[in-house]
Amino acid sequence: MNAPLSIASGPPLSVTCETQCDSAEWDGFVHAHPDGTFFHLSGWGKAAKTAYGYETFYITVRREGALAGVLPLTWARTPLLGASLISTAFSVGGGPLANDDEALRALLQAAEKLGEDNAVHYIECRSDFETENWRMQSGLHAGFATELLQNEADALTAIPRKRRAEIRKAIDAAHKGDLTVHHHGAPDLFYRLYAQSLHRLGTPVFPRRFVSALMDAFSKETEIAVVEHHGEPVAALLSFYFKDTVLPYYIGAAEQARPTRAFDFIYWSVMRRAAEKGYGRFDFGRSKINTGAYAYKKLWGIEPHPLTYRIRLIRDEALPDINASNPKFAVFSKLWPRLPGFAANRIGPLLAPNFP
């Protein structure tokens, strides 16, 4: 839930909208703001530009020279869906960060003008806030986050019985030497396993350079865990560390991952590693409601919290419908896994920019 805003009455605000920002100042504001997320950081927009060529506009509001609000907006110009402004593209978070209602209004007004000037179809903020003219979109996704217990026995006990039994079996397999885990995986290995996973799911994989761009932008905040079964890599998990939270964000896996319980083992291992490093929360990310990923996360005993986004329609008259249940994409999702892997890996990065 977003922190409550106050109504400011004081010196006038100054607003800027630029394609660059003072990263140290911007990121300092994000870290200090109670609603600041990893996806508000300046490096996320830089990675999107490197990988996709999409520019990010950094809108700032100042009061007497000090930052009072920020809003990153990625200008996605997709061949299939047209142009939009998204905070933040290729992520599950974003939206305006403001110290008060006056700063919030200034950010949104600047965003609306930017959208009109660039004739986008809509502006999407992946967070919730109260304002006029911005329509609510909810019921599609839910987020999963939970406290990390420092004591390993307590953490295991907190997981529901059936999933706990599977984790115990994975731990036993590790004790026998069947499963091993390390936390210094190579980006190329991760990408290979991730591309395999998305191919099976019927989803185009993003370009390899996006992984490199994220690792470059967030070298201290990013880590790749790898689980091997009898020496063969079967799962790789790319996680972000931000504030007191670990975010296991992208997971790739071979077909052997499920029967070997590599999924359970890699998530459990990252949980324990984060707890040992002093982190207090595990953010399992968002999932589409009533999908397999949604059901799997619930098995860990983490209560889903529905996510609400805000959309400002500029040229469009209806809210965007970019998900697998949309008939436009349903047939595509069924046909994609039938492509040979080498073809999917060549074509996928060309299609991925259409789904920011």
Q: What are 241-258's pLDDT values in tens digits?
A: 999 999 999 999 999 999
Residues forming beta bridges with residue 311, ordered by sequence position: 124, 135
Lowest mean pLDDT among 211-215, 272-276, 315-319, 322-326: 322-326
CA dist., res. 233 & res. 225, Å (int): 10
What is the structure's pLDDT at 82?
87
Q: Is the pLDDT of residue 168 over 70?
A: yes
Identity of the amino acid at 39: F
Q: Is the pLDDT of residue 1 over 50?
A: no
Q: Which residue has the higher pLDDT, 8 or 313?
A: 313
Domain 149-279 in the same topology as domain 13-140+308-320: yes
What is the structure's pLDDT at 6?
39
Q: What are 212-246's pLDDT values in tens digits?
A: 999 999 999 999 999 999 999 999 999 999 999 99
What is the structure's pLDDT at 79?
74
CA dist., res. 266 & res. 1, Å (int): 29
Q: In which band, very low, low, confident or very high, does the pLDDT at 202 lie, cut at 50, 70 and 90?
A: confident
Q: In which band, very low, low, confident or very high, does the pLDDT at 330 lie, cut at 50, 70 and 90?
A: low
What is the structure's pLDDT at 350?
58
**Domain residue extents for the chain:** 13-140+308-320, 149-279
- CATH code assigned to 149-279: 3.40.630.30
**Mean pLDDT within 274-280:** 97
Q: Which residue has the higher pLDDT, 184 or 6?
A: 184
What is the structure's pLDDT at 127?
96
Peptide bond into 88 cis (omega under 30): yes
What is the structure's pLDDT at 354?
67
What is the structure's pLDDT at 56?
97
CA dist., res. 302 & res. 155, Å (int): 12
Q: Which residue has the higher pLDDT, 240 or 343?
A: 240
Q: Is the pLDDT of residue 210 over 70?
A: yes
Residues forming beta bridges with residue 103, ordered by sequence position: none
What is the structure's pLDDT at 24?
97
| β pairing state of 82-87 and 122-125 | parallel
Q: What are 132-154's pLDDT values in tens digits?
A: 899 999 989 999 999 999 999 99
Q: Is the pLDDT of residue 5 over 50?
A: no
Lowest mean pLDDT among 51-60, 69-78, 299-308, 342-351: 342-351
Q: Which residue has the higher pLDDT, 208 or 79?
A: 208
What is the structure's pLDDT at 328?
59
| β pairing state of 66-78 and 97-98 | antiparallel
Lowest mean pLDDT among 257-261, 300-304, 343-347: 343-347
What is the structure's pLDDT at 116?
96
**Mean pLDDT within 188-208:** 90
Virtual torsion, Cα 175, 178, 179, 180, nearest 10 deg: 80
Q: Which element (helix H / strand E) includes 248?
A: strand 245-253
Lowest mean pLDDT among 106-115, 192-201, 224-233: 192-201
Query: Sign (positive/negative) of CA torsion 303, 170, 240, 204?
Result: negative
CATH topology for the 13-140+308-320 domain:
Aminopeptidase (3.40.630)
